[in-house]
Amino acid sequence: MAEPSTTGIVVAGAIGAGLMINGEAAIGALCGGVLYFVANAELSILSRVALSLVSVVMGYLAAPMLAGMTLFGVGPLDLPGPAAFVASSGVVTATLAAIKARRGPAPKGETDG
Q: Is the CB of residue 62 less than 8 Å from the CB of residue 29? A: no
Domain coverage including residue 31 = 20-103
pLDDT tens, residue by residue, 58-98: 999 988 888 777 767 766 677 888 889 989 988 888 888 89
How many separate domains does the chain show? 1
Give a yes or no: residue 24 inside a domain: yes
Which residue, among 40, 35, 26, has the nearest Cα to 89 in the 3D structure?
Answer: 35
Give a yes or no: residue 31 inside a domain: yes
DSSP string of 52-88, one letter each residue: HHHHHHHHHHHHHHHHT--BTTB-----HHHHHHHHH
Give a yes or no: residue 111 inside a domain: no
Q: Is the CB of residue 85 less than 8 Å from the CB of residue 31? A: yes
Read off the pTM.
0.68
Q: In the predicted model, is pLDDT for residue 49 greater than 60? A: yes
Q: CA-CA distance, 69 to 78, in Å (whole number)?
A: 9
